[in-house]
Amino acid sequence: MFDKSTWIRLPRNVVVGHGVRSAVVDVIEDLHLQGRPLLVTSPTPRKVAADPIAADLEKAGLTPALVTVESATFGAVEEVIAAAEAEEAAYLVGIGGGKAIDIAKMASDHLDMGFLSVPTAASHDGIVSNRGSVPDGDSRHSVAAEPPLAVVADTGILAEAPWELTTAGCADIISNYTAVMDWRLAHRLKDVVYSEYAAALSEMTAEILVDNADLVRPGLEESAWIVTKALVSSGVAMSIAGSSRPASGAEHLFSHQLDRLAPGAALHGHQVGVGSIMTAYLHGGDRGIWQDIHDALDSIDAPTTASELGIDDETLIEALTTCHSIRDRYTILGEEGINERAAREVAIKTGVLE
Ligand SMILES: [Zn+2]
């Protein structure tokens, strides 16, 4: 008997382009959202985007409320939930880098409200995906959440963000190569649920980005366009899969472990990029795909070594040898992880350790 079923949740409107910040009002009308919006932002994005958007909404008679969060913590999520209740908000608009959007996403999930994602930096795929990630003590939790009802990505604003945020977004996309390799492996060895559509979309997204790496240059607004579209595709792949598998494998475990061992040392995307070089090596032997990943990261000026990440050798080896255990997600690292000698070997062979 055929008894499969699937439920794919996607953003309904994705608006990307120069000056589209002012389309937030149109998007709200198109979605037929009723009631009061609560804008969730953090200090810098507030100036460049949230205050002007609040003025637009005010003019349209939507009486927005606004809350500014300082850090990506569960405390901040609770603050937003309290503000939404106090202001009698009907939906949330996350405006900022990853932080404000992650917090809006998790608060809206708790409140059972819709939310809009208005990224001001193309720094990671959380701006579109159905996953939320907030630090909890010394670790980072990725939890299932609703995808945004809409994404409004103004490339004029994104292009003004610090350049390393854009290269981090690129590296997060490039790491899809190894995420999909791990997913296929887990499917073969552990019968993990697998979607050919989601895997193909995720891989193709990474490929298109690598093919266009020449157009990813500081000061070029087209860079923001290319990276944002890739982040949207990657988010769609995760929505089709119903999990983060298309965009998160062992390279993400490695990055999450670095977050614990060396908090704040490097950006998420940069860490997963370096992780991806090494896990591609583990998948594929001496040359080949790891070299392509390395070269693509290098060409966009993303880190390819431990020292460029600001991580010392011992921390890198510790992260690589222990990260398999932080989450029940089967990858090339297996259930036992890799030992220290093998970890040093892969790090040296790939040039991550010099
Ligand atoms: Zn990521």
Closest CA to 304 of 351, 349, 265: 351
Mean model confidence pLDDT for the chain: 93
**pLDDT tens figures, 213-242:** 888 999 899 999 999 999 999 999 999 999
How far does residue 29's CA lie from ligand 1's centre (Å)?
Answer: 31
How far does residue 272's CA lie from ligand 1's centre (Å)?
Answer: 7
249 CB neighbour count, 10 Å cutoff: 32
Between vectors from CA 131 to CA 291 and to CA 90, what angle results, nearest 5°? 145
Residue 236 φ/ψ, nearest 5 degrees? -65, -40
How far does residue 318's CA lie from ligand 1's centre (Å)?
Answer: 20
Strand, coil or helix: 16: strand
Residue 135 φ/ψ, nearest 5 degrees? -65, 145
How far does residue 268's CA lie from ligand 1's centre (Å)?
Answer: 7
Q: Write the CB contacts of 170 (distance below 8 Å, at least 6 apart in sequence).
A: 209, 213, 216, 227, 230, 269, 297, 300, 302
Closest CA to 252 of 231, 279, 233: 279
How far does residue 125's CA lie from ligand 1's centre (Å)?
Answer: 6
- Which one has a higher pLDDT value, 68 or 138? 68
How far does residue 151's CA lie from ligand 1's centre (Å)?
Answer: 18
- Which one has a higher pLDDT value, 176 or 127? 176
How far does residue 65's CA lie from ligand 1's centre (Å)?
Answer: 30
pTM to 2 decimals? 0.92
Task: Tell how strand 36-41 and strand 13-17 pair up.
Answer: unpaired
How far does residue 235's CA lie from ligand 1's centre (Å)?
Answer: 10
The answer on pLDDT for 127 being more than 90 is no
How far does residue 68's CA lie from ligand 1's centre (Å)?
Answer: 24
Closest CA to 152 of 57, 79, 218, 36: 57
Tell me the torsion sign for CA atoms 54, 42, 46, 133.
negative
Q: Write the CB contacts of 189 (distance below 8 Å, at least 6 apart in sequence).
A: 330
Token representation of residue 343:
């970890």
Q: What is the pLDDT of residue 279?
A: 97
What's the DSSP call for residue 249?
S
- Which one has a higher pLDDT value, 142 or 330? 330
Q: What is the pLDDT of residue 139?
A: 55
Residues with CB in 5 Å of ion ligand 1: 172
Q: What is the pLDDT of residue 68?
A: 97
Q: What percent of the chain has pLDDT over 90?
A: 82
Strand, coil or helix: 145: coil
Tell me the torsion sign for CA atoms 288, 294, 298, 299.
positive
* DSSP bridge pairs for 118: 95
Pick from 71-85, 136-150, 309-323 the range whose average pLDDT is largest.
Answer: 309-323
The answer on pLDDT for 286 being more than 80 is no
How far does residue 257's CA lie from ligand 1's centre (Å)?
Answer: 13
User: How many angstroms separate the CA atoms of 307 and 324, rounded?
Assistant: 23
Estimate the crossing angle of helix 250-261 against helix 268-284, to 10 degrees: 130
348 CB neighbour count, 10 Å cutoff: 12
- Which one has a higher pLDDT value, 275 or 73? 275
Residues 132-158, mean pLDDT to the nearest whole number: 77
Task: Tell how strand 131-136 and strand 139-144 pair up.
Answer: antiparallel
The answer on pLDDT for 17 being more than 60 is yes
CB of 236 within 8 A of CB of 128? yes
How far does residue 131's CA lie from ligand 1's centre (Å)?
Answer: 10
* DSSP bridge pairs for 134: 141
Residues 92-99, mean pLDDT to the nearest whole number: 92
Token representation of residue 319:
């992260």
Residues 93-110, mean pLDDT to the nearest whole number: 92
How far does residue 345's CA lie from ligand 1's centre (Å)?
Answer: 25
User: How many angstroms separate the CA atoms of 333 and 250, rounded?
Assistant: 7
How far does residue 123's CA lie from ligand 1's centre (Å)?
Answer: 9
Residues 80-103, mean pLDDT to the nearest whole number: 95
* Residue corresponding to tokens 């979605």: 31
How far does residue 190's CA lie from ligand 1's centre (Å)?
Answer: 23
How far does residue 258's CA lie from ligand 1's centre (Å)?
Answer: 13
Q: What is the pLDDT of residue 114?
A: 95
How far does residue 6's CA lie from ligand 1's centre (Å)?
Answer: 24
CB of 108 within 8 A of CB of 101? no
Tell me the torsion sign for CA atoms 79, 270, 137, 331.
positive
Q: What is the pLDDT of residue 125?
A: 83
Q: What is the pLDDT of residue 328?
A: 87
Strand, coil or helix: 343: helix
Q: What percent of the chain has pLDDT over 70?
A: 95
Torsion of CA 109, 113, 114, 118, to 10 degrees: -70
Q: What is the pLDDT of residue 142?
A: 64
How far does residue 240's CA lie from ligand 1's centre (Å)?
Answer: 17
Tell me the torsion sign for CA atoms 333, 239, 17, 208.
positive
CB of 255 within 8 A of CB of 275? yes
pLDDT grade for 329, boundaries at 50, 70 and 90: very high
